[in-house]
Structure 1
């Protein structure tokens, strides 16, 4: 005779669910990854039940032993969910009942799947957010290392993908570190709000049993128990906020990926990708494709989609728990796994790319990129910027008509355009002089970039300490 499936409900039902309902309801195929966190919460709940006098010393010992054994069985693959298990909670209760018999059922007292799953998901995310930050630190470190290696290399700075002003290539690389640092700041700030424990809220109203939510929260590493039991089981702000942070990381990776695609192109030729982080063509033997950068760019849409999906699910839900909230997990899990997949690949790509410094420096002044420096020199000499802008604009047109660059002009040719263009304006018509002059805070001068590097190194060390937990 076949054994009836384990269910966490059903006492008031005369029959089981239809096959269609069962198939619709099942979530164990994706929420099984919450098993270690559910077991962690179960151990904390068992100790609280013991302190409340609802488990004897001997029962607690047996309960904790069975939970440890079940966890080991889950790790080894000896215990796995079956098609009859509705969700991770059902599967684990089945495993506990197999080990303890009726004693296993005592663990159900004072809690609900509603507060369990909210707790499990917070535990999962708080754990994995530190893993994500570790991978972000690796990318920050790779960018900083490339900036240090190419510290004084000039490059064309662009707006609208048109040559605008020369910059240090190191400055441009560090421009990608700063958004990653803000992403980490967001995740660290997110963790403060996620550090609230729902366990003890029950289905929605708390419990009449003499439980101790503060003790549970402390054991599970949360800062405090939830202040409102209804909010505790229905809140998914923490999941939506994480998905926003994940989507923002995806956007930043996409922008970096787009730059890599451009830099590696035949038109730019700024970098050469290492063979380990590029692919070839099935038909064109010469091709070397920036697949890592393109995939990072493509994953951004996936991450943004998860955020939009969850916000849409949440927007019309009444208090408290509704089964719609089953839709909160797959997007979160996929966002975590996507970031943990993409970030190491991007770090490797950046760390191993070779920078074509000669190409960068040759093209840095192209496109009359020193025009702004010339206009600002005139401003320092008392010429109104409006007039200085006009003068240099006319000079650019004159050069284009006569097929010359700034460096080709004679004193007489300069004077023809404007009396303001005296021979000594040539002091700013070189890239190194232009870079050195950009020494205001945040500028691209070598002096400012070295300061920026030192500050970012210290910040990345702080990020790494938080990710490892050694900041406590």
Structure 2
């Protein structure tokens, strides 16, 4: 008989039982359910609902059960229980008899479920924060060790202006820094305890919910039980943060896939994170990165799913909310796995200096410098832009880089161009001029690397 069986005369239909069960996926909340149950037993004792001796017996049995779970949590799946909460309660009753039935006094599965889920999310957020920091560190160290490599920057997948590999790395440091900040914000709003809200209107027992919250590491207790048991904003926020970060990981993957292609040939990926072809012996495929790119869609799907589930739910708890977990559990694991894989890719990647530089030189990425040069000579920018464009066409027709054009050719388009044009359009000059905050000038990049190393405690 289920936890709610007293109201019912007939047994549940077998098909309905299976349809209604969540044990197959919420079993991973076993540790969190034990933690919240121990905290609840202590507050019951302080409220004189159970004795100190009874509390000690309950707590000892719960920790004994937790030890068994840690040794083999797969055994939970053999049970026919409805969910992890009923499984733990059943096992507790088997261990200590009728005393085990006292534990649920004043508590509903409604507040129990969301408490356990918040505890699980909090634990996973701390792990994710660590790995986001580790990924930022890996980008910074890669930027530092490859600071002199010049490569083309792109817009519309066309070579645009020269940048450095270090500068490219710092762009992703900024993305993942925002991901870190978002996740910290999620943690701040999530870390409020639901326990003691009961079914939807609070508990009739004299429970100190603030004390209970602090005992589980929460900052405080929630303010409204009706909202509390139906609140899954934290799931939406966490999946939103995951979706944004996975989008960043997907963009990183796409960049590296392109850089690794024969057409770009900027990098060499390690054998340890690539695969070959069953037919073509020459192939070395960036499978790890392609999978990150694909898994991004999977995480985005989970975010859309929870939004659709919640969009029309009346207050308060509805069984629809059982569908909040599978997508969340899968997405958090996927996100964490992808962070770890990105770290592995970066740590074992080799940058091809000559190929990067050649691409920057051949892509006319210094054309803007000609326009800026002419502006300094007194020509209006739009006219200077037009002259520079004509020079690019001339260089293309002669199959030369802009640096290879003769001075006489430059002067055919403007007699203001002098021999100093050549030092103004070198790749190094293009970089050094961009000294504005956030610019690509090597001195600026180096300064940002130092700041990031201090922020991330890299010594």
CA distance in 1: counterparts of 2:275 and 2:456, whole angstroms: 31
Q: CA deviation at 1:447?
A: 0.4
* Unmatched 5+ stretches in structure 2: none
Residue in structure 2 matched with residue 39 of structure 1 by the alignment? 34
State the alpha-carbon separation in 1 of the partners of residues 261 and 162 from structure 2.
Answer: 20
- Alignment partners' CA distance in 1, 2:250 and 2:319: 34
Residues 225-274 of structure 1: per-residue CA shift (max 9 Å, x gap): 01000111000000001000001111111000001111111111111111
Determine if contact 1:196/1:217 at 8 Å carries over to the other structure. yes
Instruction: From 31, 55, 68, give the equivalent of 2:63.
Output: 68
1:96 corresponds in structure 2 to: 92
Which residue does 2:368 correspond to in 1? 372
CA contact (8 A) 1:82 1:91 kept: no
Shift of residue 178, structure 1, vs aligned partner: 1.0
Matched, 1:59 2:59: no
Counterpart for residue 107 of structure 1: 103
- Residues 8-27 of structure 1 deviation map (CA, whole Å, 9 limit, x = unaligned): 11111112211121011100
Equivalence for 2:293: 297
After the TM superposition, which residues 238-257 of structure 1 pair with which residues of structure 2 at under 5 Å, given as runs? 238-257=234-253
1:424 maps to what in 2? 420
Give the whole-Å Cα distance in 1 for the aligned partners of 2:456 and 2:318: 41
Following superposition of structure 1 onto structure 2, how do residues 400-411 of structure 1 map, counting pairs within 5 Å? 400-411=396-407
What is the aligned partner in structure 2 of residue 465 from structure 1?
Answer: none
| Range 372-381 or range 55-64, more displaced | 372-381
Question: C-alpha separation between the residues in 1 aligned to 2:333 and 2:400?
Answer: 54
Task: Write the distance in 1 (CA, Å) between the matches of 2:399 and 2:55.
Answer: 88
1:277 is aligned to 273
**TM-score, scaled to structure 2:** 0.97
Moved over 6 A (4+): none
Distance in 2, Cα, partners of 1:420 & 1:46: 86
Is structure 2 residue 3 aligned with structure 1 residue 21?
A: no
Aligned to 1:80: 76
Q: CA deviation at 1:379?
A: 2.0
Question: Quick one: distance in 2 between partners of 1:399 and 1:58?
Answer: 89
> Hey, what does 2:433 align to over in structure 1?
437
| SS in structure 1 at match of 2:6 | coil
Would you say 1:172 and 2:168 are equivalent positions? yes
**CA–CA distance in structure 2, aligned partners of residues 461 and 306 of structure 1:** 34
Residue 388 (structure 1) aligned with residue 384 (structure 2): yes
In the TM superposition, what is the alpha-carbon distance from 1:160 to its structure 2 partner? 0.9
For residues 20-61 of structure 1, give each alpha carbon's deviation from its aligned partner in whole angstroms, at most 9, with x where no partner exists.
210111000100000100110001100110011111111111
Aligned-pair CA distance for 1:399: 2.1
Which residue in 2 is equivalent to 1:458?
Answer: 454
State the SS of the aligned residue for 1:222.
coil
In structure 2, what is the Cα distance between the partners aligned to 1:404 and 1:252? Answer: 36
2: CA distance between counterparts of 1:381 and 1:227?
67
Q: Number of residues paired by the alignment? A: 457
What SS is found at the alignment partner of 2:201?
coil
3-state secondary structure, aligned to 2:152? strand
Matched, 1:360 2:356: yes
In 1, Cα distance between equivalents of 2:71 and 2:398: 77
Distance 2:257 2:125 in 1: 28
**What is the CA-CA distance between 1:77 and the residue it aligns to?**
2.2
Segments of 5+ residues of structure 1 without an aligned counterpart are 463-472
- Using CA pairs below 8 Å that are at least 6 residues apart, which structure has the higher relative contact order? 1
Summarize deviations over 1:406-449 as a string: whole Å, max 9, x none.
22222221111112322222221211111111111101111000
Could you state the TM-score of these two structures normalised by the residue count of structure 1? 0.95
* Superposed displacement of residue 81, structure 1: 4.5
Tell me, in whole angstroms, the C-alpha distance in 2 between the residues paired with 1:266 and 1:411: 35
- Please report the RMSD computed on the Cα atoms of aligned residues, expressed in angstroms: 1.3
Say yes or no: does 1:198 pair with 2:171.
no
SS in 2 for 1:166: strand
